[in-house]
Amino acid sequence: MKKKLSAIICLAAFVVVSSACKKSFLEQSDPNAVGVAASYQSPNDVLLAVNGIYQSLRSGNNIGETSDLWTDQRSDDTGTNDNQSNAGEPFQFNNFSLIASNTYLKAHWVSLYGTIARANTVLSNIDKVAFPDASVKAQYTAEAKFLRALMYFDLVRLWGDVPLVTKQLGSTEITANTFREKQATVYAQIVADLTDVINNSPLPNLQSGGNIGRASKAAANAFLGQVYLTMATTQDQANRTVNLTNAKTYLMNAYNMRTFGALSSIPYTDVFDVNKKSTCPELMFQIVNKQGDINYSSAIAANNQAKGETINSLKASSGVGGNVTHDLINDYEANDPRMTFSVKYANDPIVKDWFITKYRDASSAATNLGYGGNDWILMRYANVILMLAEVNMYIGDNATAIQYLDMVRARAGMPTYAVSITNSAYTAKYPTLKLAILHERRVELAFEHHRWFDLLRTFTTDELVAYFKSKPQADFGLALVSNFTTKDRYYPIPFDEYKLDPVKMYQNPGY
Could you give the angle at the alpha carbon of 180 between the alpha carbons of 178 and 184, nearest 5°?
A: 140
Mean pLDDT of 267-292: 98
What's the confidence (pLDDT) of residue 23?
43
Residue 57's alpha-carbon distances to 62, 115, 358, 453, 485, in angstroms, are 6, 7, 21, 18, 31
Under 8 Å CB-to-CB from 364, ≥6 apart: which residues? 314
Spatial distance between the Cα atoms of 33 and 94, rounded to a whole number of angstroms: 42
Mean pLDDT of 246-275: 98
Where does the pLDDT of residue 152 fall: very low under 50, low under 70, confident under 90, or very high at 90 and above? Answer: very high
Question: Is 148 in contact with 116 (CB distance < 8 Å)?
Answer: yes
Stretch (H or E) spanning 331: none
Mean pLDDT of 265-289: 98
Question: Is 148 in contact with 119 (CB distance < 8 Å)?
Answer: yes
Spatial distance between the Cα atoms of 6 and 9, rounded to a whole number of angstroms: 5
Q: Are strands 353-356 and 376-380 parallel, antiparallel or unpaired?
A: unpaired
What's the confidence (pLDDT) of residue 34?
58
What's the confidence (pLDDT) of residue 171?
80
Question: Is 121 in contact with 93 (CB distance < 8 Å)?
Answer: no
Mean pLDDT of 74-103: 88
What's the confidence (pLDDT) of residue 10?
40
Spatial distance between the Cα atoms of 204 and 217, rounded to a whole number of angstroms: 6
Question: Is 467 in contact with 144 (CB distance < 8 Å)?
Answer: no
For 310, counting Cβ atoms within 10 Å of its Cβ (0-12 exposed, 13-18 middle, 19+ buried), the class is exposed
Question: Is 178 in contact with 163 (CB distance < 8 Å)?
Answer: yes
Residue type, 36: V
Q: Where are the beta strands (DSSP E) in 352-482?
A: 353-356, 376-380
b/e 251-275 (16+ beta carbons within 10 angstroms → b): bebbbebbeeeebeebebebbbebe
* CA-closest candidate to residue 331, choices 488, 463, 455: 455
Q: Considering only 88-92, 279-283, 405-409, 432-436, which range has the smallest mean pLDDT?
A: 88-92
What's the confidence (pLDDT) of residue 266?
98
Task: Tell me: pLDDT of 254 over 90.
Answer: yes
Phi/psi class of residue 510: alpha, beta or left (left: φ > 0; alpha: ψ in -120 to 50)? left
What's the confidence (pLDDT) of residue 36?
77
Mean pLDDT of 482-506: 97
What's the confidence (pLDDT) of residue 39?
86
Give residue-wise pLDDT tens across range 436-450: 999 999 999 999 999
Give residue-wise pLDDT tens across range 198-236: 999 999 999 999 999 999 999 999 999 999 999 999 998
Residue 16 phi, psi dihedral angles, 5° rounding: -65, -50
For 9, counting Cβ atoms within 10 Å of its Cβ (0-12 exposed, 13-18 middle, 19+ buried), the class is exposed
What's the confidence (pLDDT) of residue 29?
53
Give residue-wise pLDDT tens across range 406-460: 999 999 999 999 999 999 999 999 999 999 999 999 999 999 999 999 999 999 9
Mean pLDDT of 178-205: 97
What's the confidence (pLDDT) of residue 175?
85
DSSP alpha helix (H) spans, 206-336: 217-234, 240-256, 300-304, 326-329
Give residue-wise pLDDT tens across range 344-388: 999 999 999 999 999 999 999 999 999 999 999 999 999 999 999
Where does the pLDDT of residue 21 fall: very low under 50, low under 70, confident under 90, or very high at 90 and above? Answer: very low
pTM of the predicted structure, to 2 decimals: 0.92
Domains observed in the chain: 36-201+459-506 (1.25.40.390), 292-366 (no CATH)
Give residue-wise pLDDT tens across range 33-43: 556 778 899 99
